[in-house]
Structure formats: structure tokens, C-alpha cells
Amino acid sequence: MAKNDDNLLKKIVSHAKEYGFVFPSSEIYDGLSATYDYGQNGVELKNNIKQYWWKAMVQLNENIVGLDAAIFMHPTTWKASGHVDAFNDPLIDNKDSKKRYRADVLVEDYLAKIETKITKEVGKAAKRFGEAFNKNEFMRTNARVLGYKEKIAAIEKRMQSAIENQNFDDFKALIEELEIACPVSGSKNWTEVRQFNLMFSTELGSVAGDASTIYLRPETAQGIFVNYLNVQKTGRMKLPFGIAQIGKAFRNEIIARQFIFRMREFEQMEMQFFVKPGEELNWYKAWKKQRMQWHKALGLGNAKYRFHDHLNLAHYANAAADIEFDFPMGFKELEGIHSRTDFDLSAHEKYSGKKLQFFDPQENKNYTPYVVETSIGLDRMFLAVLAASYTEETLEDGSERVVLSLPPALAPTKVAVLPLTKKDGLPDKARAIINELKFDFTTQYDEKDAIGKRYRRQDAIGTPYCVTIDHQTLEDNTVTIRNRDTMAQERVPINKVRETLEKNTSLTDILRKINTP
């Protein structure tokens, strides 16, 4: 369902700041737009997401290996990849508000409004027909829905053709015909549509004149392609095999907004899977399935994900889909899965003059492998996890609590150890427990304020367990362990704490749910 829960996003942004997850970059200088820093809890959550992805890719699959390529690459890389010539956004300015927009996003927002109308029609009909309602049948036959769908298809087709043919006059004409207004000024007074390259460039070398333009990589994938042969040869890899990489990418996004959803400096987790030509579509299907399983295994709610299959394919792809997530701004792209044919390796062969091939002993011949790519934004994944976990609850006694119901394996702190009072040796006992657990789990010690307040602080950062040390602990070595979600407290022997944490906060059970392709 199309939605735009600005309020929820605002709450998440302020919660993320208040509890040390995400800060605006260089905030003491009023920040830098679309750039963010991860705080003490954010970095732990981010590292846990990375670890989940890395283990699922590299540790679980014997035919996938890792890589950490440099951010700077030879400038010809970006000529070969097509980024110098074609990594552009069509931009349009509103003459009254002076605000700049991506022309395609203006049209997409317009299409989302039509989608909302369809959803409303379905909702009304479901109410009218009750149990007898058949959604598929209704979508297939209702005249109004069919009219909306036709309109969407026609607009999409025209926009695609304007982009492919670089016909920016028609792009502007489309925006005018649809009577799209500037969201800020409400005016329809638009400039021409222009192309804008998204790569950041800088100069290499310190001697003026010797300098040459290099780019901050706009995707990590090219670092994988240029190392294909290095890894294949040194790792004695046989097709099919994959190379996985996590790293920073940079794009001079024009409408960088919606918090960490669209940033200028962000992190990607990408995997290129090299396969025999002709087998790519089977692998593409397998990876689509596999990546959806990876998401769903986290338990954020299956209804929060959907596939968006691309109908209009980029010239180098023979299949492509996004995994969309139900963000506070509605369903948006979280991950892309693309069957990229041999486009990238062949382009690098052409520009470098080096062969990037595989000798197939069964066929007794060399060929350039095809590639299936999975590409997910780490920051977007972070936002998805945060948004799905942010919960406001009214408790039985009427009080409110904000709890981050994070998957325990991703929680920044796995256990907080809290002495009931600051005296009688309780802090020493608490510290002794932490000293025992800290080698395997992230822990926090907190003795300030009443115990209820301390529980709330841990709820707000998503700590799955709180262990409380009281006077009885000194007598019989038992503690209470409190579950974040149920708030139930159980008295257990101290050694049960480790067992509970091992059982409930490790990634292993989540990873077991994912079948290798």
C-alpha cells in the first residue's frame, strides 16, 4: 500500500540521534546534507548487519570468496563501465521555489498516487463484498482499476522512451501534461530537463599539470570485475563462483533525502556471481529466492517485502528485479538482483586489452563468464531494520515505552548487567559477570537511576536481555533475567545467563534458515 508516514520517519530520525545510532555528519558545523555518522550503537548494529550478510555469502558458500578493493580505481574503469557517459540523472528545476528534482522521481511520485487510488478501490470493494471478495478477479475486471493500470503503463512507457532516446523535451512535456506541481511551491513553472553525472571526481597527484581526474567509486561492483581474473586464478575458482564485497560508494545525488535512504556517501554489499553463459537465468532465479530468504529469515515480517520485476531492462541486463521494503515512506528499493550478461567483463576486456575469461575444461574452450549480481545498500538495510523494529507501546499500567524490537542477533548490546543498588558489593558482582561475558557478547553496565528507568534505556536501544543483581544474588548466585519483548523476569542461576544468550542472540539459527543456492 502506498503510504508516506512522515511522522514515523521523523520519530525514527530523532530516536536514532537521541540513542547514539545515527548523527548528522559534522553537526557542530550544522551538518552536511545527505551525509551521516553512525554513533556508538549504530556502528554495532551496522557491523552486525554486515556480519549477517558476509556470513550468508562467504562463510556459507564454499564457492563465494571475499574482496576488499580500493575506492580509487583507474579512470578508464568508469569509461568501460559506462558511468562516465551514462551515469546521469535527468534533472528539472522549479523556477519559483528554485528547488531541483529528479524528473523521473517526480513522475514516479505521480504514479504512486495512481497506485494509491487502485488500493483504495480494492479496499472499498473488499468492504462491500465481504468474504466473497476475490482480489485477483477484481483487479482483472474492474473498469476503474483497469483504467488506472492503463494510465500507469502509458506513462511508464513514455518516460522510458524519453530516457532511452534522451528526448528531454518530451520528458518536460510529460511533466507538464500530467500537471505535476512542485511539492514545495505548488507551481508548475519548470525549467528544461538536463542530464547530470552522479560521480564525484577529484585530482590524482600533487604536481599541478600532472594531475588526472579520478572518481570516487559510485558502486563497489567494478572493483570485483577488474579483479575477476586475479581471484579466479589465485583461488583456483571454477564456474560458477562468486566474489563478495562490502564497501563505501559515492554518488552526487541531487535529491538526497529521507534520512539514510539516499545518501551521497553510503555503503554497499555486493556479490557478483560468475556463471557459464546460458545458465545465467537459472542462477538469477536462484539468487532472487536466496536473497528474499535472507531478508525474511530476520523475522521483521514477511509482508514487508515484495519483488519488483523490471520490465524495461538496462541495455546490459537480460533480467532484473528489486527487493522492495515497506519503509515509512512506502515500498521502496532495498536491494537489486541483476542478470548483467557479460557486459562488464567484455567492456573491461575491450578497454584494457586483457582477456578476462575462463577456461572450461569440459568444453575445452575459453569464454567470458556471465554475471548475476546481488546489490544491497547497507544503510538502507539499517533503516529497514530500524523502522521495522521501532515500536511504541502503552503498558498495562498506562505508561508508555519505546522499544526497538531488533532481531537479538543484530542488537548492539546483547545484555545489560544492572546492580539493584550501588552498594553492598552488588556493583562488584555485576562487574564480575560482565568480565565473564564480555569476551563473547557485547555488554553494558549501568547503575544509575531506578531499575525501571534503566530497563527503559535498554529497551530504547534494543538490548534483548537485562540481568539484575540483587541481595539474593550474593546469597545463592541467582539473578533475574528480563526479556525485552515480553518484559517477563525469571530468576535463574548465573550460569544460565550465558546459555540464554548463546541460544537466543547468535546469528546461527537465522543463518540455518537460509538454504544455499
Catalog residues that contact ligand GAP under the rule CB under 6 A. 219, 221, 251, 253, 262-263, 266, 268, 270, 333-336, 373, 375-377, 379-380
CA–centroid distance for 435 within its chain: 35
CB of 290 to ligand GAP, least distance (A): 16
| Count of Cβ atoms closer than 10 Å to residue 276 Cβ | 16
Sort residue 236 into left (φ over 0), alpha (ψ -120 to 50) or beta.
left
Quick one: 109 or 253, whose CB is closer to ligand GAP? 253
CB of 232 to ligand GAP, least distance (A): 20
Quick one: 268 or 339, whose CB is closer to ligand GAP? 268
Quick one: 271 or 510, whose CB is closer to ligand GAP? 271
CB of 236 to ligand GAP, least distance (A): 26
Quick one: 82 or 299, whose CB is closer to ligand GAP? 82
> In three state form, how does the secondary structure of 322-368 look?
EEEEEECCEEEEEEEEEECCCHHHHHHHHHHCCCCCEEECCCCEEEC
CB of 334 to ligand GAP, least distance (A): 6
Question: Long-range contacts of range 9-15, CB-CB < 8 Å, 24 or more positions apart?
Answer: 9/258, 9/259, 9/328, 9/329, 9/387, 11/390, 12/259, 12/328, 12/383, 12/386, 12/387, 12/390, 13/259, 15/390, 15/402, 15/404, 15/460
Quick one: 372 or 494, whose CB is closer to ligand GAP? 372
Residue 106 CB-density burial (10 A; 0-12 exposed, 13-18 middle, 19+ buried):
buried
CB of 323 to ligand GAP, least distance (A): 8
Quick one: 325 or 390, whose CB is closer to ligand GAP? 325
Q: Which residue has the cell 523476569?
A: 489
Quick one: 247 or 517, whose CB is closer to ligand GAP? 247
Q: Which residue has the cell 529528479?
A: 102
CB of 338 to ligand GAP, least distance (A): 7
Locate the DSSP E strands across 25-183: 36-38, 64-67, 88-93, 100-102
CB of 262 to ligand GAP, least distance (A): 4
CB of 201 to ligand GAP, least distance (A): 17
Quick one: 266 or 465, whose CB is closer to ligand GAP? 266
Quick one: 280 or 335, whose CB is closer to ligand GAP? 335
Q: Which triple of cell numbers denotes residue 401?
A: 515505552
Helix (H, G, I), strand (E, B) or coil at 51: helix
C-alpha dihedral sign at 487, 491, 494, 496 = negative
Residue nearest to ligand GAP (CB): 377
Dist. CA 462–CA 484, nearest whole Å: 8
Quick one: 223 or 240, whose CB is closer to ligand GAP? 223
CB of 425 to ligand GAP, least distance (A): 50
CB of 355 to ligand GAP, least distance (A): 23
Residue 286 CB-density burial (10 A; 0-12 exposed, 13-18 middle, 19+ buried):
middle
Candidates 1, 198, 185, 210; CA nearest to 98 is: 185
C-alpha dihedral sign at 9, 10, 15, 18 = positive
Dist. CA 140–CA 32, nearest whole Å: 48
